[in-house]
Amino acid sequence: MINLIAGNSSKVLATKISKKLNANLIISEVKVFPDGESKITLKGKPSKSKTIIVQSIFPPVDSNLIKALSLISKAKDYSNEVVLVAPYLGYARQDREFLPGEIITMKVLGKLFPVVGASELIVVDIHSKIGLKYFKIKSKNISAMPDLARYFKKINLKNPLVVSPDQGGKERAKEFAKEFGSEFIALKKQRNRKTGKVQIKTEGLDEVKNRDIILVDDMISTGGSLIKATEFLKKQKCKKVFVACTHALLINNAENKIKKSGVTRIISTNTIPGKTSVVDISKIIVKALK
Q: Which of 74, 107, 189, 228 is catalytic?
A: 189
Q: For residues 156 and 150, give the distance between their C-alpha atoms in angstroms, rounded to a whole number.
A: 12
Sign of CA dihedral 28, 75, 128, 154: negative
CA distance 30 to 42: 9
Q: Is 11 exposed, middle or buried (0-12, 13-18, 19+ CB in 10 A)?
A: middle
Rounded CA separation 9/273 (Å): 8
Q: Report the alpha-carbon distance of residue 161 to residue 176 in Å, rounded.
A: 11
Three-class SS string for 40-72? EEECCCCCCCCEEEECCECCCHHHHHHHHHHHH
List Cβ neighbours of 138 (8 Å cut-off, separation of 6 or more): 119, 120, 121
CA atoms within 13 A on the CB side of 181: 7
Q: Which value, in Å, is the radius of gyration of the alpha carbons in the chain? A: 20
- Does the annotation count 188 as an active-site position? no
CA distance 213 to 232: 12
The catalytic site residues sit at: 189
